[in-house]
Amino acid sequence: MKEKTSLKVRVQKLGTALSNMVMPNIPILIAWGVLTMFFIPDGFTPNSTFAAMVGPMLVFLIPVMIGYTGGKNIYDHRGGVVGAIATATTTMGGLNENGNVPMILGAMILGPLGAWLIKKFDQVVQPHIKAGLEMLINNFSAGLVGFGISLFAVKVVGPLVAALTDIMGQGVDFLVSNHLIPLANVFIEPAKILFLNNAINQGILTPLGIQQASEQGKSLLFLLEANPGPGLGILIAFWLFGKGSAKATAPGAIIIQFIGGIHEIYFPYVMMKPALFFAVIAGGVSGTLTNNFLGAGLQAPASPGSIIAITGMASGKAAGGLGNILSVWAGILVAAGVSFLVASFILKRDKSMVDDSALEEAQANVSEAKAVAKGQVAPSHEAVDFSAVKHVIFACDAGMGSSAMGASILRNKVNKAGLPQDVTNIAIANLKAGPDTIVVTQEELAARAGTMSPDAIRYSVSNFLNSPKYDEIISRLSQTQASEPSESEPVTLTNSPTVEEEIDLNQIDEVVFAHDGEHIGSVTMGKETLGAIFKMNGIQLPISDVEFLGLAAFNAANIMIVTTEEFTHRAKRVAPNAQYLEVESLITTPRYDQLVARLNKL
């Protein structure tokens, strides 16, 4: 059982990695889709000048940005640069030799690969670099590694990806022409609910869909996962035939799922009754079959999978205009109708659905039993000290949809209770939390949350929108708050600790330079200066930089954040639990030497 869980977590991580490359660049895909919709010869308003941007965006900008993002996720900006070099050269190879094949798959391979290579190079070489030569060697090494991998990319990866894309494209054409593509939903619909879909969608469907849309003006592949029909049918069935809280929350969930495009909202409803997997599969297959027969498709990915976004991506003249919109809507309606009929049949025959609250208790007991069997049980909340809790983080796969809704609900409860804790949401891939943080995830992601934040107080819920555990969290935090000094009691405030008094490098695991995105030059020099001092004194600590908005991921006592005096207050609002080294100048400050001198005295 443990092996299966491990495999599942690995697939989730792969899907998250692919999603983290594609999702930040969805705006580029949307911009490209709008350009094609209006300005190509078959568009609403043909314009040869503007249409000239369509090709370069598809075959160059989109792959390079995906390659950069993939590299950045592995090794920050340095990894992103090497990944972009490798992807750009492969793209040019595709232009010259591979028939203008968009190197989306190549970017997903080369971006992380280039970043991994430069990361390993740095780990081997940097400890031996002489003081003062860091910037020279860092710049040349990244350029030379990028040069080397670009040659490999053009001669090996480019032709290989072009051939692979051609084979998969022919396979998709065969499935579409023989009306077999709906069978994909047999795998996609359950994968969505188990958070395993990103590996399929971002790794296969999106790249092939972009290729198909560039050739045919639209692609059915963009609808395979985005179709909101199956989830809509499930929610309507619960609205009409459900019991208790499931019935009460279904109407609001319909708006969030169908109009807002947050599909995760219906996942708990299916998990409550596993037989409903048959309903979403039947709905997905029926909807795709309808779209396949009618020749429906989208010009670009619809993200989120909202009826509004889907309609916008279906309305282009090259895609078929009004006729295509009606075909897409027909597929959604059929999917919703079939899903509703199957779900209604299951719910009406299910005599166990007498009390939803009892069902939720049973689910919690089952989840705990499964966790015990898998060795993934979080510490009992009864034995946990909540007095140090300052933050609550909701973590989901993408960190945008369902977790944002859950965070909003709990944030309102926290505000009404007059509690000081902040409530935020984040992608689970970026989760970093210590004992001062409560982490709330879906049950399916509990195992990953445990590995990424073992010291945090962890809660897993079946439904982000309606969980009794929210009230438990508020109750525990309120009890702690009641035992703390009231506002009328004197409270001693302390200034930021001085280097000589507080910061002990033995307790620090990482040094982060915080910046606003504009003063990156001084930050780079500051990193080089501190790195040289650390090296001369035999101190091995990773040094990185991040913009202020990203500091939430470093909000822990084992992180030392270096910032100038004018920005310290701004940084502390985002990461109040970190230790701070406040300096007048990131480059010439004497406090770096004082920091090391204190370490030598200990």
pTM value is: 0.58
Give how far Cα 374 sits from Cα of 370, 371, 447, 461, 491, Å: 6, 5, 9, 17, 46
In degrees and rounded to multiples of 5, residue 397 shows phi and psi of -60, -45
The 8-class DSSP code of residue 590 comes to: T
User: What is the edge-to-edge ordering of all strands in the sheet holding 579-583?
Assistant: 543-547, 510-515, 559-564, 579-583
Examine the pLDDT at 37 and tell me if it is beyond 90.
Answer: no
Mean pLDDT of the chain: 79
Examine the pLDDT at 490 and tell me if it is beyond 60.
Answer: no
Segment 127-175, tens digit of pLDDT: 787 777 778 888 899 999 999 998 888 888 888 887 887 787 777 778 7
Segment 289-332, tens digit of pLDDT: 999 999 999 988 887 788 998 998 888 887 888 999 999 999 99
% the chain with pLDDT above 90: 18
Q: How confident is the model at residue 466 (pLDDT cuts 50, 70, 90)?
A: low
Q: How confident is the model at residue 434 (pLDDT cuts 50, 70, 90)?
A: confident
Q: How confident is the model at residue 4 (pLDDT cuts 50, 70, 90)?
A: very low
Segment 292-304, tens digit of pLDDT: 999 999 988 887 7
Examine the pLDDT at 497 and tell me if it is beyond 80.
Answer: no
Q: How confident is the model at residue 2 (pLDDT cuts 50, 70, 90)?
A: very low
Under DSSP, is residue 200 helix (H, G, I), strand (E, B) or coil? helix
pLDDT of residue 6: 56
pLDDT of residue 521: 66
**Which residue is it, tokens 């995760």?**
264
What is the C-alpha to C-alpha distance for residues 237 and 231, in angstroms, rounded to an integer?
10
Segment 379-416, tens digit of pLDDT: 445 556 677 888 899 888 765 666 777 888 888 888 88
For residue 63, the tally of other CB atoms under 10 A from its CB is 29
Q: Name the most confidently modeled range: 139-153, 168-182, 344-358, 575-589.
A: 139-153
E-strand stretches of 334-427:
391-396, 422-427
**CB-based contact 542:562 (threshold 8 Å):** no
Q: What share of the chain is helix, strand, coil (3-state, %, to 5)?
A: 65, 10, 25
**CB-based contact 306:258 (threshold 8 Å):** yes
Six-digit token string for 550? 């990203």
Q: How confident is the model at residue 100 (pLDDT cuts 50, 70, 90)?
A: low
From the centroid of its chain, how far is CA 365?
29
What is the C-alpha to C-alpha distance for residues 433 and 389, in angstroms, rounded to an integer?
11
Please give the radius of gyration of the chain, using alpha carbons only, rounded to the nearest integer. 26
**CB-based contact 270:234 (threshold 8 Å):** yes
What is the C-alpha to C-alpha distance for residues 529 and 521, in angstroms, rounded to an integer?
12
Q: How confident is the model at residue 425 (pLDDT cuts 50, 70, 90)?
A: confident
**CB-based contact 202:18 (threshold 8 Å):** yes
3-state secondary structure 245-277: HHHHHHHHHHHHHHHCCCHHHHHHHHHHCHHHH
From the centroid of its chain, how far is CA 469?
24
Examine the pLDDT at 488 and tell me if it is beyond 60.
Answer: no
Under DSSP, is residue 468 helix (H, G, I), strand (E, B) or coil? coil
**CB-based contact 29:300 (threshold 8 Å):** yes
What is the C-alpha to C-alpha distance for residues 242 and 222, in angstroms, rounded to an integer?
31
Check residues 355 and 434 and name the one with the higher pLDDT: 434
Q: What angle do CA 476, 439, 411 make, to 5 degrees?
A: 65
Total residues found in the chain within this entry:
602
Segment 512-530, tens digit of pLDDT: 998 876 666 677 777 877 8
What is the C-alpha to C-alpha distance for residues 408 and 402, in angstroms, rounded to an integer?
10
For residue 159, the tally of other CB atoms under 10 A from its CB is 16
Q: How confident is the model at residue 195 (pLDDT cuts 50, 70, 90)?
A: low
Ordered domains of the chain (ranges, CATH):
53-178 (no CATH), 376-481 (3.40.50.2300), 505-601 (3.40.50.2300)
Examine the pLDDT at 343 and tell me if it is beyond 60.
Answer: yes
The residues assigned a catalytic role are: 396
pLDDT of residue 67: 92
For the segment 527-547, the average pLDDT, to the nearest whole number, is: 84
In the chain, what is the straight-line distance between the N-terminal and C-terminal CA atoms, in Å? 47
Six-digit token string for 276? 């409903």
What is the C-alpha to C-alpha distance for residues 410 and 466, in angstroms, rounded to an integer?
10
What is the C-alpha to C-alpha distance for residues 67 and 112, in angstroms, rounded to an integer?
7
